[in-house]
């Protein structure tokens, strides 16, 4: 099956501490969460790097999900390791350790077949790497890009990021990142300014409040699903991206209505991820369960 979507991002081993328990060196990384989620909708090719300590069971799981691993590299050294913790309110994570390891010299290498994929998601990596990938692909139908505060506030990476915004279709940011990148305090002003900077559409992640998307066609808010219990919020944003992009790639429909539907699938997948550690929610997941979660969120948006 031809790859319909490519994700370029991190592959990691995470150590997560919550007020209930600690899990050490579990599967993580933006490319991992995104590709796992998107694989329920379409054929995904994953571009990333791991070290020799990356267990074969993780590779086996990704392949079992039908993810194309032609862009995956395993090299000498240790896999990117992030350690962080959450308080009882599961707010923003507190970083304890960041060990880039082999990810520090990550240089994305796209197989030739990936360069023709119609959908491309550039996860939260150095803007110079995102720019490199944009320059070598063959005009995808849709390019989406995620970023973070570190790249926005660093003068060198900020200038690169600004230069590539006119070449993407969808920009993913959270509320704080939208304010930093736009220089505007209110969400309405930030959205207007960011759209003027180049991307055709914004997706602003609002945490427990859900997410919103905006373009010249208007705004749409997707509610967050009210999870009865949160276990581990790590990867929720990347999972949202995987659901959003996966839903678009599945049908290939880029109409305003399709974007709204994709937002609800993004919300559904983010909520499923937080119900267990790592990608463990998806080890026994079925598409039927995903569609049921989507239907419940859809019901939450009805006014009559």
pLDDT tens digits, one per residue of 6-18: 999 999 999 999 9
For residue 263, give every residue at least 6 positions away whose Cβ sits within 8 Å of its Cβ, in sequence order, or none: 203, 211, 213, 220, 222, 244
Domain ranges for the chain:
5-300
Note the pLDDT tens digit of each residue in 222-249.
999 999 889 999 999 999 999 999 999 9
pTM of the model: 0.96
Residue 225 main-chain phi, psi, to 5 deg: -75, 130
The answer to whether residues 26 and 281 touch, using CB atoms and an 8 Å cutoff, is: no
pLDDT band at 304 (very low <50, low <70, confident <90, very high): confident
C-alpha 1/C-alpha 69 separation (Å) is 13
What is the third-level CATH fold of 5-300? 3.40.1190
């Amino acid at each position: 099956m031809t790859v319909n979507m490519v994700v370029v991002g991190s592959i990691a081993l995470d150590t997560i501490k919550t007020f209930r328990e600690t899990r050490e060196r579990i599967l993580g990384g933006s490319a991992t969460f995104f590709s796992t989620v998107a694989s329920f909708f379409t054929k995904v090719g994953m571009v990333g790097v791991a070290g020799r300590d990356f267990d074969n069971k993780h590779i086996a799981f990704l392949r079992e999900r039908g993810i194309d691993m032609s862009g995956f590299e395993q090299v000498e050294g240790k896999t990117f390791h992030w350690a962080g913790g959450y308080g009882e309110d599961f707010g923003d994570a507190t970083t304890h350790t960041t060990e880039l390891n082999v990810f520090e010299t990550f240089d994305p290498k796209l197989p030739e077949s990936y360069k023709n994929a119609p959908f491309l998601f550039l996860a939260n990596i150095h803007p110079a790497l995102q720019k490199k990938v944009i320059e070598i692909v063959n005009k995808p139908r849709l390019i989406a890009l995620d970023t973070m505060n570190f790249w926005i506030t660093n003068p060198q990476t900020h200038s690169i990021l600004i230069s590539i915004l006119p070449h993407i279709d969808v920009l993913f940011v959270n509320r704080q990142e939208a304010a930093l990148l736009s220089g505007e305090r209110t969400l309405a002003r930030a959205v207007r300014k960011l759209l003027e900077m180049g991307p055709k559409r914004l997706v602003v992640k609002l945490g427990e409040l859900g997410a919103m998307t905006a373009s010249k066609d208007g705004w749409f808010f997707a509610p967050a699903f009210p999870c009865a219990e949160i276990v581990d919020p790590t990867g929720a944003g990347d999972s949202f991206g995987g659901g959003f992009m996966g839903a678009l790639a599945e049908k290939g429909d880029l109409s305003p209505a399709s974007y709204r539907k994709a937002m609800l699938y993004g919300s559904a997948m983010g909520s499923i991820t937080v119900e267990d550690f790592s990608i463990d929610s998806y080890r026994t997941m079925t598409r039927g369960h995903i569609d049921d979660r989507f239907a419940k969120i859809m019901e939450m948006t009805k006014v009559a």
